[in-house]
Amino acid sequence: MGTLTIAVILLALLLVLLVGGVWIAVALAAVGWFGLQFFTSTPPEVNLFQSFWSSSANWTIAALPLFIWMGEILFRTKLSEEMFEGLAPWLTWLPGRLMHVNVIACGIFGTVSGSSAATCATIAKVALPELIKRGYDEKTCLGSLCGAGTLGILLPPSIIMVVYAVAAEVSILKVFLAGFLPGFLLMALFSGYIIVWALLNPDKTPRETEKLPFAEKLYRSRHLIPCILLIVFIVWVMAIGWATATEAAAYGVLGSLAIAWWSGGLNRQTFWQSLMGATRLSCMIMFILAGASFLSSCMAFTGIPKALAEWVAMLNPNPYGLIAILALIYVVLGTALDGVSMIVLTTSIVIPMVVKAGFDLVWFGIFIVLLVEIAELTPPLGFNLFVLQTMSGRDSNYVAYASIPFFCLMVLCIVLITIFPGIVTWLPDVILAK
């Protein structure tokens, strides 16, 4: 039987299982077992044990639950309220005024959360009622929160970045550093749109009457300093080689516990809730990674990735054409799968094709992360749509319509990093070259 036929059969089986409601990790493992059992001479039970063990007994993957726990701890503090109070006085001079708080606060909280849905929910919980009460346009508020909430997975440390780095076998630190400039670019695009919108719709932006002296602005921003210092410290100790990603994640947990205690948000109940929340999410992700690892071994034995890479090399496609096709595929996948599943499901097949086409794997990681961000805004399963639907009482279609301009800006960001890949690769090349 030909390799292409085997690939079609396995893909069809996977789709049937997923549509039937089977857990993603179980579906991946089941397809892997089926492929090894019927299309190779390799015993599937031996590979199942080896794949599950090797994917879990990995020192690098230990960073994942620690970064998740760090975000869970700070998620249960007053950080979101403190960010709104600290940022608002500095932004009243910009057209759009407090709507820029959505973008900047999501960027700051995203660096400690690592989750798009958590970032969107936490900032929206504080910002949305406050902005509506002050008379800001609800549609633009929802759109900016929906778009900016995705920064939680683009600005490091990011859960999705760790998953990709492990699956693609690239440096976690390089992927982290590569996310900064695209993240800042996306924030600038969002704020730029808000400025243009505010200038075109001056009647939809209320006047701010509160004028604060410089000293008062600094005083209100005092709670932002520990969080920013924590993120700078985590990236710095990795960049200079003082700590691995796992060790830096452990420092992050200690720092987040200290911040939570200092802000008065740490008690026995919040500590236990954060620990259990991190445990549940970590187990889910690691189970998916284990299933994907087993499926990857099946792919290797059947020769599907190698055949696809040779096929791509034979066609000699335009690299930009390949990227456009992959972007379309990931957008379609994003309508039905979460970001972690998208990455682990496709990595073993896509990576050989990308390497053959001459793309840098660190750059491709940021490319995928941006596409996962777009999936968070794409009906019917965009998580940020559900979050804001719950918080605003609006239909998810209304929220999706409100987020269209920000969806387009994210597509523009992907176009820019594709045309100018240095936006992604410059920072890790400069810092790690020293």
Convert the pLDDT of each residue in 71-90 to its tens digit: 788 777 777 677 777 777 77
DSSP H/E element including 392: helix 383-392
pLDDT in the model for residue 24? 76
Both tokens assigned to 7: 């690939």
Query: Which pLDDT value is given to residue 8?
Result: 80
Mean pLDDT in residue range 159-181: 87
Mean pLDDT of 328-356: 76
| Residue showing tokens 């096709």 | 325
pLDDT value at residue 366? 94
15 pLDDT band, cuts 50/70/90, is confident
Residues 6+ apart with CB under 8 A from 391: 121, 124, 125, 128
Q: What integer is the mean pLDDT of 60-79?
A: 77
Summarised one tens digit per residue, pLDDT across range 201-215 is 888 777 765 677 777
Among 340, 252, 352, CA closest to 290: 340
Q: What is the pLDDT of residue 312?
A: 65
Residue 412's pLDDT band (boundaries 50, 70, 90)?
Answer: very high
Name the band, by pLDDT with cuts 50, 70 and 90, for residue 420.
very high
| Tokens, residue 372 | 């996962």
Domain boundaries, the chain: 59-432
| Integer Cα distance of 101 and 85 in angstroms | 9
Q: Rounded mean pLDDT of 325-351? A: 76
d(CA 85, CA 212): 12
CA distance 113 to 277: 13
DSSP secondary-structure letter at 208?
P
Burial class (CB in 10 A: 0-12, 13-18, 19+), 419: exposed
**Given this model, what pLDDT does residue 60 score?**
66
Which of residues 230 and 310 earns the better pLDDT score? 230
Contact criterion met (CB below 8 Å) for 413 and 186:
yes
Average pLDDT, rounded, for the chain: 81
pLDDT for the residue 194? 92
92 pLDDT higher than 90: no
Residue 324 has pLDDT above 80, yes or no: yes
36-52 pLDDT per residue, tens: 888 888 888 878 878 78
From its phi and psi, is residue 212 left (phi > 0), alpha (psi between -120 and 50) or beta? beta
* 434 pLDDT more than 60: no
CA distance 177 to 183: 10
Dist CA 278 CA 248 (whole Å): 17
Q: Provide the whole-model pTM.
A: 0.78
pLDDT tens by residue, 282-305 = 888 788 778 877 887 787 788 776
Cβ density class 11-35: b for 16+ within 10 Å, e for less: eeebeebbeeeeebbebbbbbbbbb
Contact in structure between 208 and 420 (CB atoms under 8 Å): no
Q: What percent of the chain has pLDDT over 90?
A: 13
Other Cβ atoms closer than 10 A to 197: 19
Helix (H) or strand (E) holding 305: helix 304-315
**pLDDT per position as a tens digit, 105-156:** 888 877 776 677 777 877 787 788 878 887 888 888 899 988 888 887 888 8
Instruction: Give percent of the chain with pLDDT exceeding 70.
Output: 92
Q: Are 206 and 198 in contact (CB under 8 A)?
A: no
Q: Please, which pLDDT band fits residue 264 given cuts at 50, 70 and 90?
A: confident
